[in-house]
A = this chain, B = another copy of it.
């Protein structure tokens, strides 16, 4: 069902999909069955939505990166986005080109995901989260509100990153000529958990199942299964297993 005031330029729209007024779907986009595209959503050419995807008002899928002027990187991307079955893309979320999101993941209101990012299944990227270029995020990982994931970050499966966590990849604080190969984001291994307001420095590895306390500044690797906190963070003990 396409509202007469929707602008739908593609014929590739599955059965039982609803496109609301003032939505824009470009030629070359592919929309699955049973999707809902709310008013003012924009779905660009090359975007592939699975079945049962809900795209909330104002979400933009298929943003072209801009490299001119102030930014350090020249964007390099494939003009394609793949969104798995059952995903939800929140109001005003922005998904750049060259992103893949696994089935049944939720992208929160106003979140923004840059090019060359791969997100697993059943993930939560919560409200206002910004993810920079070339990150990978494993299945069932949750990244909470207003956290920033820097470029070249690797996050495993079943990871929990709390709210307002800062990650960085540039020890020079922008004072050197930009060389993409020098930008080393953190690595968060499977099952790691990072507390609210923590600060993970460039290239730091948080091991499998390790926990970083709220507000910590993590300047060195945290071994698997250890709890670390403080500024700078120190390992204080083994993580106590949680009953499930």
Q: A7 interface residue, CB < 8 Å from B?
A: yes
Q: A32 interface residue, CB < 8 Å from B?
A: no
Q: Which residues of B contact A160 (CB under 8 A)?
A: 173-175
Interface centre among A39, A105, A106, A243 (most CB of B within 10 A): A39
Q: How many angstroms between the C-alpha atoms of A54 and B65 in the bound complex?
A: 12
Q: How many angstroms between the C-alpha atoms of A74 and B119 in the bound complex?
A: 23
Q: Which residues of B contact A126 (CB under 8 A)?
A: 130
Answer whether A57 and B57 are a contact pair too, CB < 8 Å, given A71-B124, A193-B174, A201-B214.
Answer: no
Q: How many angstroms between the C-alpha atoms of A243 and B150 in the bound complex?
A: 23
Q: A224 interface residue, CB < 8 Å from B?
A: no
Q: How many angstroms between the C-alpha atoms of A103 and B130 in the bound complex?
A: 25
B24 A24 Cβ-Cβ under 8 A: no
Interface of A is mostly: loop
Q: A177 interface residue, CB < 8 Å from B?
A: yes
Binding site for B on A (CB under 8 A): 5, 7, 20-22, 24, 38-40, 42, 54, 56-58, 60, 63, 66, 68-71, 86-88, 90-92, 94, 103-106, 108-110, 112, 122-124, 126-128, 130, 132, 140, 142, 144-146, 148, 150, 160, 162-164, 166-168, 172-177, 191, 193-197, 199, 201, 211, 214-215, 217, 230-231, 242-244
Given contacts A69-B122, A176-B244, 16 further A-B contacts (CB under 8 A): A20-B24, A68-B86, A69-B103, A69-B104, A70-B140, A109-B112, A110-B128, A126-B130, A145-B148, A166-B196, A168-B196, A173-B194, A175-B193, A175-B242, A177-B244, A201-B214
Contacts A/B (CB < 8 Å), 15 sampled: A7-B22, A22-B40, A39-B42, A40-B42, A68-B86, A69-B106, A90-B94, A92-B92, A92-B110, A109-B112, A112-B127, A168-B196, A176-B242, A215-B231, A230-B231
